[in-house]
Amino acid sequence: MPYTTYLVEKGASHSFVAEAKPPTVTMPRVKALMTGSLPGFIDVVRNLNSPALLEDNVITQAKAAGKRMIFYGDETWVKLFPQHFVEYDGTTSFFVSDYTEVDDNVTRHLDKVLKRGDWDVLILHYLGLDHIGHISGPSSPLIGHKLSEMDNILMKIHTSLLSEERENLSPNLLVLCGDHGMSETGSHGASSMEEVNTPLILISSAFERKPGDIRHPKHVQQTDLAATLAIGLGLPIPENSVGSLLFPSIEGRPVREQLRFLHLNAVQLSKLLQENVPSYKKGSNPAPAQHPASTEQQG
């Protein structure tokens, strides 16, 4: 993926290794990405019949704020978020042997939708890479071709967003991520390192980068994305989110704004803690005793 590699190593981006908690299957992971919470194993049973998501999440908050969202790809999203998208085309993941049409069905919309200015959020969930892994494992010769295809698609989206920015002078955010990894045998669902480690790349012209600025991928939690997206879109952080704002995404902002964003995250987390830990009281820890000498020095 030469274009993606260039963006990671030299472009205006921040890259992470995001840990997905088991069960590493699609529906619970999409929930984690959008709610910032940790779905349980009962969601594995529901994976093939995803009921509408009632828990507070970024998609519901975005719709309430009047954001116009478009979705193409794995129909899990359409089931979780019915009537949330102004336009959508869901693709079934049931036919695992198909790794071309499932992706062509997403890409065929791209040229048209990228030329339009009538949306705020575009979500694309490609299935082909996952299906190749299931058919012939992650070392399959088909993987390289599919990654090259995905790289070209990312380049198309990124260059289109940059072109739009030159007209409206407002930076966009492009997020590239995986919902789960894949074991050496081509499966997922458990907790091996290959299954839980996922890529997460945030790309935006707002992330200025000087020549020679080397950024090593940081290890974060998959649940951190919901808080980061919410703050980036000016939305409330989902109430059950256990994630932390990905600080590199705001480090270019004025210090006052950074503190405000961190405060929003801290207030939301403390409220969650208060509601779920009966013995929790804010500021209940006794202050450490000061040494008499230090008290005198302060005086």
CATH number of the domain residue 104 falls in: 3.40.720.10
- The answer as to whether 237 is a domain residue is no
- The answer as to whether 234 is a domain residue is no
- The answer as to whether 278 is a domain residue is no
- The answer as to whether 257 is a domain residue is no
Q: Estimate to the nearest angstrom the gap between the alpha carbon of 17 and the chain centroid.
A: 11
Which helix or strand (DSSP H or E) is residue 185 part of?
A: none
Q: How many domains does the chain have?
A: 1
- The answer as to whether 189 is a domain residue is yes
Question: Is residue 1 classed exposed, middle or buried when 0-12, 13-18 and 19+ CB atoms within 10 A define those classes?
Answer: middle
Per-residue pLDDT of the chain (299 residues; tens, 9 = 90+): 999 999 999 999 999 999 999 888 888 899 999 999 987 644 555 545 557 898 999 999 999 999 999 999 999 999 999 999 999 999 887 676 778 899 999 999 999 999 998 999 999 999 999 999 888 888 899 999 999 999 999 999 999 999 999 888 889 999 999 999 887 867 686 788 889 999 999 999 999 898 889 999 999 999 999 999 999 999 999 999 999 999 999 999 999 999 999 999 999 999 999 988 888 766 555 444 444 443 333 33
Closest CA to 22 of 189, 148, 200, 199: 189
- The answer as to whether 83 is a domain residue is yes
Instruction: Please count the other Cβ atoms lying within 10 Å of the Cβ belonging to residue 236.
Output: 15
Domain coverage including residue 83: 2-222
pTM of the predicted model, to two decimals?
0.88
